Amino acid sequence: MNGINRKTRLIAAAVTSAAALFLVAAPSASAGLLVQSATNCPTPSLEQPFTHWNDNSSYMLAPQGSFENGSGGWSLNRAYVDSGNESYNVGNDGGSHSLKIAPGGSALTPTICVGLDRPSLRFFARSSGGLLGLSTMAVSVRFETSLGLVAELPIGVVLPSGRWQPSLPMPILANLLPLLPGDMTPVQFRFTPVGGTYWIDDVYVDPRNRA
């Protein structure tokens, strides 16, 4: 178990370092249409879904992030809305659905506006299967640079668990592209199981200003 935890920490450190280096080299978002296209993002409705885990940050639910009304706007590959809600019912909506992603599949969120004041992603997940139960789920952020190039960066890894668990906060990093607090960057998040089946539910973005 200690070996697995150490490996997880090393993976997380490598992901953060690689992403940070990429963003340092990225061209200025102020020079292109990206920031302009994201200035009309709606004011989010905020919740505090992770207080049970000593996280008092305010979050906004991603579009169709509870899957109670389907998965409209999501791009799904070997994934579909399934019965069964995350067991903590943090949305207090009597939810009864989640998103199931089969091995070899992936799920891509609709576009979400992020900025300097929206720094992290958090959600609930559980898993099944995989060789000796050793499966993971990679999480990445997809964004467009000021030159119009679409890029994708890893931001986190979810370890297998047969029970619903909240993910750790995953720094978005692409939110560093805007140079001014009022600017926004449109992004998408991709969930990709490796070696097993995963369910995700109640996908949230933290919009709290940490400055």
Pick 125 or 3 by higher pLDDT.
125
- pLDDT confidence band for 106 (50 / 70 / 90): very high
Sketch out the chain's domains with CATH numbers.
2-206 (2.60.120.260)
Q: Given 3-state DSSP classes, what are the helix, strand and coil percentages for the chain, each rounded to the nearest 5?
A: 20, 40, 45
Please tell me whether residue 190 adopts helix, strand or coil conformation: strand
- pLDDT confidence band for 182 (50 / 70 / 90): low
CB of 48 within 8 A of CB of 60?
Answer: no
What is the pLDDT at residue 161? 93
What is the pLDDT at residue 54? 95
pLDDT in tens, 34-91: 344 445 577 778 999 999 999 998 999 998 999 999 999 899 999 999 999 999 999 8
Mean pLDDT of 91-110: 91
pLDDT in tens, 4-41: 445 444 444 444 444 443 443 344 434 334 344 445 57
Instruction: Report the alpha-carbon distance of residue 27 to residue 33 in Å, rounded.
Output: 13
